[in-house]
Amino acid sequence: MKYLEEKIRAEGVVLPGHVLKVGHFANHQIDIALLREMARELARLYADAGVTKVLTIEASGIALAAAAALEMNVPMVFAKKNATANVSGEVYRAQVASFTHKRVYDVIVPKEYLSADDCVLIVDDFLAQGNALNGLIDIVGESGASVAGCGIIIEKGFQGGGDALRAKGIRVESLAIVESMDADTGVITFRGE
């Protein structure tokens, strides 16, 4: 999405450690008009994929996942990062190493929310090394459901997670793919430029 790339270039902040901050429009404060366009784009890309559910991971994937699910008229489910007292019963569980927080989380989805009949679109705000998506893909696999593909706001292409998933045959649609970014100069380039 050209407009998204322009917005990232104009407003994104490149931090040391390969972290891009877009909290003022994409994942903390959210530009609702942009969110609607991104959700419509994912719904268009996956229109013929037979998606029955949208799955994401808390917290920052939830906005796009909910908006995409609304466009596709299917339920949205999010994986919780730690089992809490109000998650009872049987759960699917995977371990995810957090890129931004440098720790490993257990992520869980109650078994009642995914079944073998489901065809799942997995959504997240960022794709870096692919740990979050791989955890969610494992959970979908455990449930017997199929993965329609992944829908991402910003893939950092230089970190390799997206291309590794594509090499495994998983469809990954990223609305913007950052090919390089420099914390000293703030210069960002996108795939295909």
Which residues sit at the interface with ligand 5GP, rule CB under 6 A? Answer: 19-20, 57, 60, 99-100, 124-132, 161
Range list of H helices, the chain:
2-11, 32-45, 62-72, 131-143, 161-167
Q: CB of residue 116 vs ligand 5GP: minimum separation in angstroms?
A: 26
Helix (H) or strand (E) holding 114: none
Nearer to ligand 5GP, 91 or 128 (CB): 128
Q: CB of residue 10 vs ligand 5GP: minimum separation in angstroms?
A: 17
Q: CB of residue 123 vs ligand 5GP: minimum separation in angstroms?
A: 10
Nearer to ligand 5GP, 46 or 99 (CB): 99
Structure tokens at 9: 């270039």
Residues 6+ apart with CB under 8 A from 135: 57, 79, 94, 95, 96, 107
Nearer to ligand 5GP, 73 or 137 (CB): 137
